[in-house]
Structures are given as structure tokens and as C-alpha cells.
Amino acid sequence: MADQLAADGQLDQVFGRIEDQRDALVALTQELIRIPTVNPPGDAYRPCAELIGERLRKQGFAVEYLRAEGALGDSERYPRTNVVARFEGRRPGQTVHFNGHIDVVEAGNGWTFDPFAATLTDNRVYGRGACDMKGGLAAAIIAVEALLQSGIPLAGALEISGTVDEESGGYAGVAWLAERGYFSRPRVDHVIIPEPLNVDRVCLGHRGVWWAEVETLGRIAHGSMPFLGVSAIRNMGLFLELVERELYPALDKRKTSMPVEPAGARSSTLNFNSLHGGQAEGFDGLPSPCVADSCRLVLDRRFLIEEELDEVREEVRSLLERLRAEVPGFDYRLRELWSVLPTMTDKEAPVVRALDQEIRRVLGKEPQLIASPGTYDQKHIARIGHLHDCVAYGPGVLDLAHQPDEWVDVDDMVASAKVMAAAALRLTDTRP
Ligand SMILES: [Zn+2]
């Protein structure tokens, strides 16, 4: 249908309408940024959800506010309020859902702009969340409004959601909604998440995550006679040395077929998030002389679609077991903190094909199909909603996410809004 509409000139009309809404798109992005939905703790979710919901209600959407009561992080002080808006077309067809998270990470240091003033300068909007991902959410809203106002008889349905807590795992946001059927067929067929993956790239999925805490154990003794105790810190040193010598080179060699960007993340990676041994820090005065009986290390292992989570776990455990067998006094505990399986949408999936074609049409260049080094809400849609026609596509520049002086380019927002509108037209009008 999109091609037919292009031939009829109707698509140009939609595109023209989006261009006319350029100032409105900037204003909406600014309004969203000026509500400081910082997570943690999860501030101001309700007013931000209402800004989106009340705007769409005026356009004829049915709007629901869904508080994830009792979910991780939800409280009276910090209610986890999501918004889901749905517009029914006039003909049978499929549902396209645009999902944006409304939370942002803390501003941090190093800003030259006020992070919540949403300054417009040099064709860019600056502010926390401009790129990740209030600019993308605003572009999706303008895209859908342009479709509604175009007078084209729409098929299927269009949905927009603003969801919470993506930056902290999405459990009170997309996961909570997915558990209640909001991201499953027959309600929804295609999902586009306007995360900042660059205006000419479609993100098919992400690598897996395994977070674990390794604790080496020792025996306390007087620090002047360390030979009478067992040092958990020295034991941790042995583990770190083994990881350095054997695990890192092995991980570097493992390459994925996933088109992860940046390319450095096409191998398995491992980060040490934190390390602490012996007495607690942050007291005044001198410490007492003790041999450390505990040392804790938090591992952040990102794994590839070619790897199994069990193998990822066993690889670390086997190093620890070897030390236990070989080193007198070596003992440890291994505690899993969090895991996410890798997810990848098929390159031939309808949502990928539709975005691919419309990026070519709007931007006149060949889109890049990529995967993300880090995880985002797509995992919940795939695993809980069992919906696999889902990708991330949005106007922000990936490298700017979470940085000081984060910005989104206004031309990119306009272009991505056109791509999203045309892709939604194409997808809603396909028969199951
Ligand atoms: Zn994001």
C-alpha cells in the first residue's frame, strides 16, 4: 500500500505534514525533556505519561494509564506509571506499536547546557534524554498524528506507549505490560522502539548479559601474622590472574555473526564492575590490622547469540573450581545477579523490510542492519510477549546516549518521523 500511496502522492502529503510539524516536534521534545524523569529513583513518571496520554486522547486515541503497582521500584512516592494509547483504523489490518521509555539516567557532570532546559541551538535540542530517547518518542508521536490527520483511511491499529524503568531493566515497564498481554498477538503485530541507533540504521537485537558476584573466602587473623590466616584478597588475585591469562584471550577470539555496532563488541566481553576486599570503606581514622576473610567482585559478561548462558556460567565456575583443587585454602561463592538472553529479529521480518524500504525512500541511502552491544526492552517483547517482529529504530546518535551535552538533531527527528509513518502505513495494511 505504501507504494500505491507514493504513486498517488498521498505519502508526499503525509511527509509534507510532518515537515509542517517541525516546530511542534521540537516543542514536544522540549516539553518531554523538561519533565526530569530521572531513574533511579523514577521521578515524575506520572506527569510525563500524562503529557503523552492527554495529547493523544485529543487525537482520538483510547488512553490507559497503567501503574505497575507492587512491581520492583514502585511506591507511593515513586509510582511506576506507564501510558498506552491505541487508535483503531477503519479497515481490517495489523497493529503497529511504537514503544518509548520515558525514564532518563541522571544528568551527571560535565554539562555546558542545563540538562533539563531543552535548549534549541544549531538545529539540535540539548538535554538529558534528548537522544535517549525523548526525541525518538516525540518523532513517533508526530509521525502517528500526521497519519491520522492525512485523511488516508487507515487499516489495523496504531499504538504508542510511554514506559518506565528501561534504564534499570524495564521490569515495571515493558516487562510488566508484556506479562499482561500488551506486547502479544493478537493485540499487536509489529513493534518499533525509537531508541537512539542512528537515523539510517535498524537495530535487530542485542547481546546477552550475565552479571555475577564472585566472592573469595579467607580466614581472619592478625595482620602482623598473615601466615596464620587466609587472605581472600590474595585468592581473588589468583582468580584475576587466571582470567587475564586464559579467559580474556579466549573471549577476544570468539566472534559473532551478529552485526553488532561498534564492531569492538562483536566479540564476547567481560567487565569488572566492582571489586572490594577486607574491611568496609568510608570510615574515619585508621583500619585495624586484619587478614581479609572476604573479597567480592562483580562481573559483567556480555555474550553472543552463538554462546549458551550455561556455558558462560560454567566457564567462570570451572576457573574457580580449578583454583579450589590446586590452591590450599582457596574457597569461593558464586552468586548470579542478573541474566538476559541475546535476542535477534530475522532480517526478513516484516518490520525490518518495511523500515529498510522507507529509509531508502526518505534518506536515499542503504540502511545498515545492526545489533546493539547492550540490552534494551526488546528482550521482554521477545521472551514474555513472544512477539518477534520487533526492532529499534530512532533518530538519536547511539554514542551520545548517557553522555553530558546529549542532543538530538532536528532534521534526523523529521526524517525518522517520515520513515516511521510510511513504515506504519505499509505494516498496518498487510493481511495476516
Ligand atoms: Zn534508551
The band of 340, judged by pLDDT with boundaries at 50, 70 and 90, is: very high
* Cβ(25)–Cβ(32) below 8 Å: no
Q: Is the pLDDT of residue 72 over 80?
A: yes
What does the alpha-carbon distance between residue 424 and residue 147 come to, in Å, rounded to a whole number? 9
* Interval between CA 132 and ligand 1 midpoint (Å): 5
Q: What is the mean pLDDT of the chain?
A: 96
pLDDT at 432 over 60: no
Residue 6: pLDDT over 90: no
Q: What is the pLDDT of residue 44?
A: 98
For the residues 37-49, what does the mean pLDDT come to?
97
| DSSP secondary structure, 353-411, as one string | HHHHHHHHHHH-SPPEEEEESS--THHHHHHTS----EEE--SS-GGGTTSTT-EEEHH
**pLDDT above 90 as % of the chain:** 93
Give the distance (Å) from ligand 1 centre to CA of residue 376.
Answer: 7
Would you call 103 exposed, middle or buried from its count of C-beta atoms within 10 A (0-12, 13-18, 19+)? Answer: buried
Task: Give the distance (Å) from ligand 1 centre to CA of residue 101.
Answer: 7
368-to-204, 259, 356, 359 alpha-carbon distances in Å: 10, 9, 8, 10
* Nearest C-alpha neighbor of 303 from the set 335, 269, 333: 269
- Give the separation between CA 243 and CA 249, rounded to whole angstroms: 9
Spacing, Cα 131 to ligand 1 middle (Å): 8
Q: Which residues contact 96 (CB under 8 A, 6 or more apart)?
A: 156, 157, 158, 159, 188, 189, 190, 191, 192, 423, 424, 427, 428
Question: Does pLDDT of 78 surpass 60?
Answer: yes
| 32 CA from centroid of ligand 1 (Å) | 14
- Is the bond preceding residue 262 a cis peptide, omega within 30 degrees? yes
Whether pTM > 0.75 for this model: the answer is yes
Give me ligand 1 centre to Cα 129, in Å. 8
Neighbours of ion ligand 1 (CB under 5 A): 132-133, 195
Computed on alpha carbons and rounded to an integer, the radius of gyration of the chain in Å comes to 25
Residue closest to 131 by CA, chosen among 250, 29, 11: 29
6-12 mean pLDDT? 80
Reduce the DSSP state of residue 219 to 3 states and report it. Answer: strand
pLDDT at 416 over 80: yes
Cα 385 to Cα 184: distance, rounded to the nearest angstrom: 5
> 133 falls in which pLDDT band (50, 70, 90)?
very high
How far apart are the CA of 98 and the centre of ligand 1, in A? 13
Digit-coded pLDDT (tens) for 352-374: 999 999 999 999 999 999 999 99
Contact call for residues 158 and 424 (beta carbons, < 8 A): yes
Average pLDDT over residues 105-134: 97
What's the gap in Å between 102 CA and the centre of ligand 1? Answer: 9
Q: Tell me what pLDDT residue 15 has.
A: 97
The pLDDT of residue 53: 98
Between the CA of 377 and the centroid of ligand 1 the distance, in Å, is 9
- Estimate to the nearest angstrom the gap between the alpha carbon of 95 and the chain centroid: 22
Say how many Å lie between the CA of residue 92 and the centre of ligand 1: 32
Lowest mean pLDDT across 75-89, 126-140, 282-296, 315-329: 282-296
Confidence at residue 233, expressed as pLDDT on a 0 to 100 scale: 98
